[in-house]
Structure 1
Amino acid sequence: MRGGGAVGFLATALFILAGMGASAMASGCGVSLPAGRHELAIQSDGVERSAVYFIPSTYSGKRKLPLVFDFHGSNSHPEGQMNRSHWDAVAEREGFIVMALQGSLDGAVPGTYAWNVPGVNPLPGVSRGNGLDEGRFIRDAVDKAKQMFCVDPARVYASGYSGGGRMLSQYICDGHGDFTAAGFVMGLRAGYPEQEDGVWRPRKASCQPARPISIIAFSGLKDHINPFAGGGKPYWQYGGEVALKRWAELNGCDDRESTDKGDGFSVSTYSGCRGGTSVMSYVIADATHDWPAQSIHFPLAMGGDEAIREVDATDRMWDFFRSAGKELVATSTAKATCIDTTTTATNNKGGQGTACRQPVQSDLSAPGASEGL
């Protein structure tokens, strides 16, 4: 009996160890991957969907890394969006993974795409005839990324540009809690637009997040595509300030925001939010519908010139993400994770600082601002 028990115990132990090994493989850890950009097909609801992902040269599969999703605007595509945002350059310097997904709608420009955003009609020239369930696709993509890569599930973030920001907003509004923090460039929403007594506002029932989430948004006062003051196309209507206040309300933040003015921009921050989250907004006086670039001097904290440095929206977003929305100070900026400092090179296009070991594609194929709506 004792011998049989020992054999049974050994078999059970081996089964558990085998299960642990399978679980480790399923999480993506323990497997090295080639660095650089790669295309990926993801099965979602019986349809093959497209994505592009980026692996930094420091990736070993032995350490869980952050993951940032990058959502393209209308009439664009994943490659073009990554060229616009330069998230891959920041990922190479700082040591994290990026994944850019492709919307299901055919864009008005050949070879481009748009998102089938729930609750609103697409842009003129974009048909909804081939629209798919984008929420399911995003959820499937998050699961796929966790299976393929060695990812820290507590450090999964997302950013969206224009139509991609509208898609990301609604995905969070629909109760998906995959992301710890989210960033928006010219595209923050807080639910479907509705009009009451001549005033446009977000429909409260259309935005029910699963939990509080830290939000950072960038808007331009000269953006005539998605006007900060409101109006514009039927999918837009209520302004950026209204959307921001609604997210502060959803996060249970203090009623009044702190506002500071910089060189050509203002920054508003809501504090006291649930779960240690925060809501922050940069409004740039001369910005149009472009991704804010290096010419903007973003502060890392409110007040104090020593906390201001010249970065673009992507760098500023990454500072916000890795701080999980908590108040940023100059000393909180983490050192780059590059291990080969002898081969660094400045990326002057995006103002992203230095790259680690591998060259990163420059902004050559990104659609113009008027095309990435």
Structure 2
Amino acid sequence: MTSSTVSDRVRSTGIVRLLVSGFFFLVAGSSAFAAGCGTSFPAGRHDLSLDINGQTRSAVYFIPSDYTGKRKVPVVFDFHGSNSNPDGQMNRSHWDEVAEREGFIVMALQGSLPGEFEGTHAWNVPGVTKAEGLDEGAFIRTAVHYATETFCVDPARIYASGYSGGGRMLSQYICDGHGDFAAAGFVMGLRAGYPEQEDGVWRPRKESCHPAKPVSIIAFSGLKDDVNPFAGGGKAYWQYGGEVALKRWADLNGCDPHPRGEKGDTATFSAYYGCKAGTSVISYVITDADHSWPGNRVRFRLAALQGETIREVDATGRMWDFFRNSGGELLAGTPQKTACPADKTTAGKEAGLQGKTCSQQVKSDNSEPVVTDGL
């Protein structure tokens, strides 16, 4: 039996119980609440505890200020890297800022392994982690079901992103046949199965990656990343390079084997299109990037017809644009102008960590991604 309790920084939801036998849920409250819609939640970050087979697992979720519980919204799961935690990851990715502007929920989960520093954690990645850890797949699966039962969520718009070790965990979760996510994004962490060596060449073991369905992939890599090198090598869990992983996902998704690309002095963009179920696999390899989340100093231009610039976004904003276009091939369209009132700021854990954002819903630009010159 598995149960869960919600311990919010702003306590408002009471106690919710999950019975995971067949993923049958008993939820206190009205039938509308049981369906995930009809109940509002306070804006900002909230702590979450899930008891899974007697083990307490932790997470943090973010509710945007315009959430009412009356309209189904997307959810983005944010997976931290090794030696980090959910709050640290959200501070790194700034998914809560994008969520506040665009009106969706973010849930950041915590790995079961202790990190090298107090208060930090890592993931027990199947096939490569040589440590005693908990079943991360069961945790992720339960957290997804918890989100769909507790919040007013569109099950067709559940996405995930992973940084470093969190990217490796997310990769393997999808490889293990869990079809929860419509699209997935990776920063310095895309994998396509366990590494194995054959005739001196490292590659993903095909038997270790069997996705339940085609899934759109967007990946960001740095040529100066010496932790998870794009060229391959590194620690035992890594070995095969980022380009090998991308090609493997293109094969798994049934994409056209010939990618389209654009090479510049600061970054290289490549994309595999013509994939099954309208999915795609795209990659940004940033020349001067090391093993860090590409922040505001790395910008991406979203261009409309005749190359007209719509707006610039950072890596997280680019990832969200990819997600909300269902991950498929982005077609040129008409730009949508938005206004951001100066008094609208993100609701967050601590003052000073969040920037100014817009709280209104922003429609998709349906635009072709282009890398800016000023990366």
Q: TM-score, normalised by structure 1?
A: 0.82
Distance (whole Å) between structure 2 residues aligned to residue 181 and residue 294 of structure 1: 23
Distance (whole Å) between structure 1 residues aligned to residue 209 and residue 47 of structure 2: 32
Q: How many residues align?
A: 329
Q: Which amino acid aligns with 1:312?
A: D
Q: Which residue of 1 aligns with 2:210?
A: 208
User: Of 315, 318, 333, which aligns to 2:317?
Assistant: 315
Q: Which amino acid aligns with 1:343?
A: D
Distance (whole Å) between structure 2 residues aligned to residue 118 and residue 31 of structure 1: 37
Q: Which residue of 2 aligns with 1:11?
A: none
Q: Which residue of 2 aligns with 1:9?
A: none
Distance (whole Å) between structure 1 residues aligned to residue 306 and residue 194 of structure 2: 38
Q: Which residue of 2 aligns with 1:120?
A: 128
Distance (whole Å) between structure 2 residues aligned to residue 206 and residue 23 of structure 1: 41
Residue 319 of structure 1 aligns to a residue whose secondary structure is helix
- State the shift of 1:294 in Å: 2.2
Q: Is the 8 A contact 1:276 1:326 kept in 2?
A: yes
User: Of 157, 173, 198, which aligns to 2:200?
Assistant: 198
Residue 295 of structure 1 aligns to a residue whose secondary structure is coil
* Root mean square deviation, CA, Å: 2.6
- For structure 1, list consecutive stretches of 5 or more residues without a partner in the other structure: 1-20, 123-127, 358-373
Q: Which amino acid aligns with 1:88?
A: D
- Structure label with greater radius of gyration: 1
Structure 1 residues 350, 60: closer, same or farther in 2, change over 3 A?
A: same
Distance (whole Å) between structure 1 residues aligned to residue 69 and residue 296 of structure 2: 32
- For structure 2, list consecutive stretches of 5 or more residues without a partner in the other structure: 1-28, 361-375
Distance (whole Å) between structure 1 residues aligned to residue 263 and residue 246 of structure 2: 17
Q: Which residue of 1 aligns with 2:42?
A: 34
- State the shift of 1:121 in Å: 2.7
- State the shift of 1:296 in Å: 2.4
Distance (whole Å) between structure 2 residues aligned to residue 160 and residue 332 of structure 1: 31
User: Of 41, 58, 61, which aligns to 2:69?
Assistant: 61
Distance (whole Å) between structure 2 residues aligned to residue 167 and residue 230 of structure 1: 18
Structure 1 residues 219, 333: closer, same or farther in 2, change over 3 A?
A: farther
Q: Is the 8 A contact 2:112 2:124 kept in 1?
A: yes
- State the shift of 1:291 in Å: 0.5
Structure 1 residues 58, 213: closer, same or farther in 2, change over 3 A?
A: same
Q: Which residue of 1 aligns with 2:281?
A: 279
Residue 243 of structure 1 aligns to a residue whose secondary structure is helix
Q: Which has the higher helix share?
A: 1
Residue 354 of structure 1 aligns to a residue whose secondary structure is coil
Structure 1 residues 203, 355: closer, same or farther in 2, change over 3 A?
A: same
Q: Which residue of 2 aligns with 1:368?
A: none
Percent of residue pairs identical: 69
User: Of 95, 99, 108, which aligns to 2:103?
Assistant: 95
Distance (whole Å) between structure 2 residues aligned to residue 352 and residue 330 of structure 1: 29
Q: Which amino acid aligns with 2:344?
A: T
**TM-superposition CA deviations, 1:273-324 (whole Å, max 9, x none):** 0000000000000000110122323243699642474321100000000001
Within-5 A mapping of 1:130-279:
131-262=133-264, 264-279=266-281
Residue 280 of structure 1 aligns to a residue whose secondary structure is strand
Structure 1 residues 307, 198: closer, same or farther in 2, change over 3 A?
A: farther
**TM-superposition CA deviations, 1:186-207 (whole Å, max 9, x none):** 0000000000000000000000
Q: Which amino acid aligns with 1:101?
A: L
- State the shift of 1:25 in Å: 2.2
Q: TM-score, normalised by structure 2?
A: 0.82
Distance (whole Å) between structure 1 residues aligned to residue 105 and residue 341 of structure 2: 20
Q: Is the 8 A contact 1:117 1:170 kept in 2?
A: yes
